[in-house]
Structure 1
């Protein structure tokens, strides 16, 4: 059994290794109906497996995630406030392949992409941010526009700590039941507000429940956003219990996994407790955490 000193040293080595990792092979597309099925899901997530540190790899142009860092985050004041009248750059043009939902990263790399949905929420998001900073982990936060409008300072805090900000619609609806005009409004309003809040538009989108529609895929592409799904879903939104959430993640995590958790949308105390339980296990097992370019 490792001593406390050995465990601490190992964690420091893993964080240092993660800081030196410059890039990971690009994201993979859909893996089949089982991965993308929404079923009764009310939200999204993802994760990965233990092992040796990944070797150097040249970053890909569009979908190369970058490794996390434990460096001290920039002060929130370093980010722009809510800007008005700022010019917006033309959205990037996506290929047909880039427009399809991504369900996992390159399985040849021992990395996990941690995604946090439905926030920000002042009750739980600050604790999640502290945990991620403790382990030197960068995550992707899929934010709901209504919550962004209510808590802009918290959104800037997430970005200031080095995490990626992504679009999760304005009201978290089932996009399959909306008209094309309504879908465009949900995505465009959120992207515009995020751009005004943190100074740049999001480049990733996640459909609530993983329920993409033809209209949402087109609108996301028009706005220059790729679509991220997940491969590990502990269904933490249903509050099955901290131990159940933890066990599901540790059981299903594998290299290249995208893990789904939630910091908004209700009582997320079980999710926070589960993060405290499983993050050190994954770190001690040799996992690296990454986030796609924002």
Structure 2
């Protein structure tokens, strides 16, 4: 009887063991499947610890390829140092109304040691900032002058390398003109330009596409002072004062010919604009 009474007990133990074994096996299989896509999770070092500081330093010192830096759009999870690409526009920006009751002064073709320093002195006197659309060939000749422009807080922009008529160029040549200039600007002042302007205001589809790929917005102008035609200092002043308005972009030159009238006109119209309640501002992206 005792032997017969022990059989049900053994069977019960075996059933419990079998169930526990099956459950454990299923758990192991499920856990293995869940961990398959990635490596084992390693706990992050405590914030502020030596290991955390060393890990952050290693990430910061990892080199960025120029192509990745310029061409990858910024998303929420993108590494620091990369920025969003601007849209490919079909026409350049002619004004910047979002700046409110401000005007933007721009100077093309430099830097030129004969005229750029005089413009910088006037801007410095009134503590205002402007945009300088520089040519790569001029930057190559006068890199220290470009550094002075940047050190004064002005915005350095791309105006191609040799000031060509862009629509007459092949796309590869446009890319070389713009890309080479951006690279030199970054080499000299430490950051690449975010704005560009086509010489003579002659844009085409390829220039918009290439400019966007290089991370730049196309900016034209609202007022052409015609200073390139040397019309006389008073006419340059009248063009700016008469065309003044919120968001207006003024085109002048600090190189490419005799720009002494441009230098003299700035000394006259800048205080008048400020007296009339306009701020002189630059865009930020």
- Within 5 Å, give how 1:252-271 maps onto structure 2: 252-271=243-262
- Aligned pair count reads 210
Which residue number corresponds to residue 74 of structure 1?
Answer: none
TM-score using structure 1 length: 0.68
- Do structure 1's residue 199 and structure 2's residue 190 form an aligned pair? yes
> Does structure 1 conserve the Cα–Cα contact (< 8 Å) formed by 2:88 and 2:212?
no
- Rounded Cα–Cα distance in structure 2 between residues aligned with 1:212 and 1:285: 34
Q: 2:201 aligns with which of 195, 210, 221?
A: 210
Alpha-carbon shift at residue 107 of structure 1 (Å): 6.6
- Rounded Cα–Cα distance in structure 2 between residues aligned with 1:162 and 1:171: 25
Deviations 1:143-188, CA, capped at 9 Å, x for gaps: 0000000000000010000001000000001101001111111001
Alpha-carbon shift at residue 90 of structure 1 (Å): 2.8
Alpha-carbon shift at residue 195 of structure 1 (Å): 0.7
> Does structure 1 conserve the Cα–Cα contact (< 8 Å) formed by 2:195 and 2:218?
yes
1:122 aligns to what SS in structure 2? coil
Mean CA deviation greater in 264-273 or 104-113: 104-113
2:117 aligns to what SS in structure 1? helix
Alpha-carbon shift at residue 86 of structure 1 (Å): 8.9
Alpha-carbon shift at residue 97 of structure 1 (Å): 6.4
- Within 5 Å, give how 1:216-231 maps onto structure 2: 216-231=207-222
- Rounded Cα–Cα distance in structure 1 between residues aligned with 2:254 and 2:87: 32
- Within 5 Å, give how 1:37-116 maps onto structure 2: 88=66, 89-91=69-71, 92-96=83-87, 100-106=91-97, 109-116=100-107
- Rounded Cα–Cα distance in structure 1 between residues aligned with 2:167 and 2:276: 40
CA distance 1:108–1:150, change in 2 (3 Å)? closer
Which residue number corresponds to residue 136 of structure 1?
Answer: 127
> Does structure 1 conserve the Cα–Cα contact (< 8 Å) formed by 2:166 and 2:174?
yes
- Rounded Cα–Cα distance in structure 2 between residues aligned with 1:150 and 1:236: 23
Which residue number corresponds to residue 174 of structure 1?
Answer: 165
Which structure is larger by alpha-carbon Rg, 1 or 2?
2
Q: Which runs of at least 4 in structure 1 moved beyond 2 Å after TM superposition? A: 85-100
Deviations 1:52-72, CA, capped at 9 Å, x for gaps: xxxxxxxxxxxxxxxxxxxxx
- Do structure 1's residue 154 and structure 2's residue 145 form an aligned pair? yes
- Do structure 1's residue 293 and structure 2's residue 273 form an aligned pair? no
- Rounded Cα–Cα distance in structure 2 between residues aligned with 1:287 and 1:108: 11
- Do structure 1's residue 243 and structure 2's residue 223 form an aligned pair? no
- Rounded Cα–Cα distance in structure 1 between residues aligned with 2:192 and 2:201: 21
Which structure shows the higher helix fraction? 2
Alpha-carbon shift at residue 209 of structure 1 (Å): 1.1
- Rounded Cα–Cα distance in structure 2 between residues aligned with 1:87 and 1:154: 28
Which residue number corresponds to residue 3 of structure 1?
Answer: none
TM-score using structure 2 length: 0.70
CA distance 1:96–1:271, change in 2 (3 Å)? same
- Rounded Cα–Cα distance in structure 2 between residues aligned with 1:109 and 1:209: 27
- Within 5 Å, give how 1:21-32 maps onto structure 2: none
- Rounded Cα–Cα distance in structure 2 between residues aligned with 1:101 and 1:292: 15
Q: Unaligned stretches of 5+ in structure 2?
A: 1-62, 72-82
Higher relative contact order (CA 8 A, sep 6+): 1
- Rounded Cα–Cα distance in structure 2 between residues aligned with 1:90 and 1:111: 30
